[in-house]
Amino acid sequence: MTEIATAPPKKRPEFRNINAFRDLPSYRLPAAGWVSILHRISGALMFALMPFVIWMFDVSISSEISFSKFKAAFEIGMLGLPGIVWKLLALALIWAYLHHLIAGLRHLWMDARHAVSKEFGKSSALVTLVLGSVLTLVLALKLFGFY
C-alpha cells in the first residue's frame, strides 16, 4: 500500500472576543441574512404603524368628507407635517408589507418543499430583495403621481 500525503487542513480563524467596532464592519452578511433581518424590521414596522393603517382605513371609507380630509393629508399635510412626510410614511408601510409578504412566501416555500440549500437560499433571497424593491418603486411612482 502506498500512503497518500495529505496537507494538514487550513486552520480557521478563531474569534473569542469579538470587537464590534473592528470585526463587524468587515463582516459581509449574505443575501439570506439581509432578507432575514429586513423581514424582522418590516414586521416591527408594520406593527408600529398599525395605528396609521387603522386611521387610513377608517378615514378613507367613513364618508366623502372624511375621504377629502384623507386626500388632503397626503397633498397638503396635517398635524404640522407636510404631505410628503405622510407619503413617505405610507411608502415605508408599502415596502414593509411587500417585503414581509415576499419573504414570508419564501420561507413557506422552503418549509413546504424542504428547499434548504445554500444555492436556493442565495437565489431566493436575491429574488426577494429585487422583487420587493421593484414593486415598492412601482408603487412609489404611483403614490407620488408619476403615472
Going by the DSSP 8-state scheme, the letter that residue 6 receives in this structure is -
Confidence of residue 145 (pLDDT cuts 50, 70, 90): confident
How many distinct helices (H) and strands (E) make up the chain? 6, 2
Nearest to 122 by CA among 42, 12, 27, 36: 36
Look up the pTM and report it. 0.76
Rounded to whole angstroms, the Cα distance separating 121 from 113 reads: 13
- The domain ranges of the chain are 31-143
Domain 31-143 grouped into CATH 3.40.50.880: no
pLDDT tens digit sequence for 62-82: 899 989 988 888 888 888 889
Give the C-alpha separation, 42 to 101, whole Å: 10
